[in-house]
Homo-oligomer: A and B are copies of this chain.
C-alpha cells in the first residue's frame, strides 16, 4: 500500500540536489552506505531507475527528474500538513497576517478594528514580506491569511475574497516628459525603463509591463520594495506602473498619472483553500466588511 516513505523521499531529494552520495549522506547525518541502500531500495520498489551512476558520476534519469519535481512538492505538502495540525491544536494561537509593506490600500487599520470588535477575536501578528513569498507563507502554514494583488500573485491552492479594485498609475519623476498629462495609455510608455521585482521570475506574461514588449529587458533595475523604487524613480533612473494606493501619500518629487488601459489591480485577502478554521473565516469576514464599509 505504501509506495514511498517521507524519509525515503527526503533521502532521494538530498542525493538529487547534491548529485553526490557522500555529501548527501553527510547532509542527512547518516552514513553513505545506508543512503546507497535506501536509494536502491526505492528504485526497486518503484521499479524505476532514478540515477545513472558510475563510481565517478551521478546523474538524474528522466524518472528521477520527475520524482524530484513532484517529490519536492509532496514533501512541502507533508510539512504543511504538520504545521497546520500543530497550529490548529494551539487553541490560543494568534492570527498571522502577512502583507507587503504599504500593500494594504489603507484598509489595514479598518480591518483590524473590525476584527477586534468580534467576540472571537484573537491577537493579530502582522508579518511583512516584500517578495512574492507571501503566498508561500500561506501554503506552508507560516501565516494564516495574506493580502495579495491579483493578477500579480499566484493564487493556486488558495481561496480568496476581493477587498478592493483600483486602477494603476504611472509613477514618474516630477520633471518627466509625461508628468503633466492627465492620463496615459501603455503605448505612451514605450521605451521607458521599468523595474524588475527582486525574486520574481519574469515570465513574460506582461503584467509588470502591462503589455509592453520586452524592452531593454536585460538591464532593468532590480528593486526589492516600493520605497527603493520611489527612490530610483526620483533619481530619474526609471518609472513604474503601480496600483494607485501603493504610492499614497504621493512622495515629494513624484507624480502619479492614471494609465487608462492597464488592467486594474485587485487587492484580495487570501488563505489556504484547505484551511477552514473559524479563526480564518472570522478575520476574512471582518476584512471584507471593513473594506466595503
Q: Of B3, B74, B276, which is within 8 A of A74 by CB?
A: B74
CA distance A10 to B4 in the complex (A): 12
Judge if A250 is at the interface, Cβ distance under 8 Å.
no
Q: Interface majority SS on A: helix, strand, loop or mixed?
A: helix
Which residues of the partner chain B approach A78 to less than 8 Å between Cβ atoms?
A: 3-4, 6, 9, 71, 74, 77-78
Q: Are B46 and A86 in contact (CB-based, < 8 A)? A: yes
Copy total for this chain? 2
A113 contacts the other chain (CB 8 A) = no
How far is B74's CA from A79's CA once the two chains are assembled, in angstroms? Answer: 9
- B63 touching A70, Cβ below 8 Å: no
Q: Which residues of B contact A64 (CB under 8 A)?
A: 85
- What is the bound-complex CA distance between A73 and B77, given in angstroms? 7
Report Cα–Cα, A218/B136, bound state, in Å. Answer: 39
User: What 0/1 readout, one digit per residue, does chain A (188-211) give for beta carbons within 8 Å of chain B?
Assistant: 000000000000000000000000
Q: Within 8 Å CB of A276, what residues of B? A: 65, 69
In the complex, what residue of chain B is closest to A274 when comparing beta carbons?
Answer: B69
On whether the beta carbons of A274 and B70 are closer than 8 Å, the reply is yes
A224 contacts B by Cβ under 8 Å? no
B6 touches A47 (CB 8 A): no
Judge whether B74 and A61 touch: CB under 8 Å: no
Q: Does A156 contact B (CB under 8 A)?
A: yes
How far does the Cβ of A270 sit from chain B's closest Cβ, in whole Å?
Answer: 13
